[in-house]
Structure 1
Amino acid sequence: MPRPRRGKEPPRAAQDGGVSRYSDPARTGEHRPVTVTAVIADGSDLVSVALEQARAALGKARLVWIDSDSRGPEVEALLRDLGVHPLTIEDVFETRTVPKVEDFGRYLFILAHAVRVPAEGPSRLQETELDIVVGARWVFTHHEAALTAPARLREEALRTRRALDPVKIAHALLDRLVDDALPAIDAFDDELEQLEKISLARIPRRTTVPRVLALRSALHRFRRAAVHQREVLLRLARGEFALIPADQLPFFRDVHDHAVRIADEIDDARELLSGILEAHLSMVSNRLNEIMKVLTMMASVFLPISFIAGVYGMNFEAMPELRSPWGYPAVLAAMALTVAGLLWWFRRRGWLE
């Protein structure tokens, strides 16, 4: 059955150039220029600066936000200077399959996932990682270049002179990641509606089961990320961490509510997909039963005809019917009556319906 739509894609997701699942060049051995963008806020002014200026402003400016889309010696040196634990640095630059949040006292490390449905369809669901390190007066973010949520937030803040602090930046990024997952839910709904129609077709398609299995695998990956991200947001929303002030907790609770809704939608989609697979297998079984019924009835009709033809096909001379001028028509009439009688009996039993 068609499922209710959640509306059009949020404007932020529509503007996003998309996220893709490919490895960080630092992990694959490839090398490309390191892109680092920095923003500092001193008073009410928000200014985009170079990395050297941002490092000089640490401890002096009200806010320093450094964003990187790759790994480089200068980025690692910056994190060490900020007192970031070596294990956190490793987590930042390595791909992790599960979102998490860790409190190191001086800073908070948040690992979140973003999802996107490519042109190939939801069965090719793509994920990317966003790492957020939140300090008292600074925030560091790391992600793949294809994830544009940090850049869009930074441009919006510079354009509108929006008042930001490290916690507000973390909230805004997590909010965008959760909202950008809604179009993926809609894409899964569309695919499920198509599969539901195909699964109930009179003649089953061979491609249905592979499509269902591929979609189930994508939903499994989507659910794993969504459930762990929901737990991360729950911990952020209930005030476990000293770096998050009490007046910011309602905003994180709002994001958590959206994450709960997405996780519930994924669970509903998985249940519906299981029902579609069962319905398809049932249709295949019914189709096979119908074919076997037709073949069995054909064999039942031809069995007595074959017996009659076999009897009169024997080469014995003492068969009086062979010399009778009405023998051949009589045999044909007997065959016809046998077929008619069997078909009448099949119809009376309801086997021809």
Structure 2
Amino acid sequence: MEIFNHNANVNFLGMRKVSIGIAVLLMLVSIALLAVRGLDYGLDFTGGISAEISYQQPVAVADVREALAKAGMEHAVVQSLGGTKEVSVRMQPTAAMLDQGKVNLDKVSDVVSRALKAARPDAQLKSRSSVSSQVGDELRSDGTVAAIFVILGIGLYLWVRFERRFAIAALATEVHDVLVTLGVLAITGREFDLTVLASVLAVIGYSINDKVVVFDRIRELFRLARKAEPVEVLNRSINSTLSRTIITSLFTAITMAALYFIGGAVVQGFAITMLIGILVGTLSSIFVASPILLWLGVSKQDLMPQTKENPELARRP
């Protein structure tokens, strides 16, 4: 199945100055947004109140969320607890829940119970607890470390799998993809919680998958061509994998769109972040990664073993 001609000859590398310029500009704008506006961290990172509520009859998560919103708790996160009769609620404390600036769990119970019983008299508050911001700080730092290790691990893999120039190009584009994705989240003010963090890590994996496909074709064409001009090989590689790249991105985006519209509020952050990452990662695979390879001076000699007995040849897939 192909959308574009496998043997098309679109001169993507001819636009490299413009594409790299736009990529750098987007990275700088994203860094500025993250520095000035920052991310809108959710309860997972800022701390707050957690409560568990049970009902005698099945209840819809949307109805619980609506009841809390009517009582002034608009941003409460409501999730089902493995059934239809129990839900968990996470939210920032309101003024009515505070006592001299500190959370009073007795007031939490009173406020939440009254709000839910007004909509459903069978609501029963099972437990409530307060989560400090210190836990959120630890989660934020752990998430940052996880993202860095994922990117560095991918770079190391590509260094072994291909060649150091491919690893450098992949690292540069991964940093670009993550920064631009976070920049979009910052400018739109979308809440950044653990599900969004998970989607950012998924974006890293998805993006590198696209680039590995193009890199593999680049290596293959370099080895097959007798006279391998880097610009020609890179252009042919992008063109020959373009249908695969677009089709994969399109169907993944359709899945994420369905998750966004049908999956409910809990997974909307994950879905929209993936949609942003898919778009950014696809464009960087086509317009950014290969120009960086060309700038680094990739050539046929870099990808060919020097002798037949070279153990590097046997080790590479």
TM-score (norm 1): 0.25
Q: Pick 1 or 2: higher relative contact order, CA cutoff 8 A, min separation 6.
A: 2
TM-score (norm 2): 0.27
**Larger of the two Rg values belongs to structure:** 1
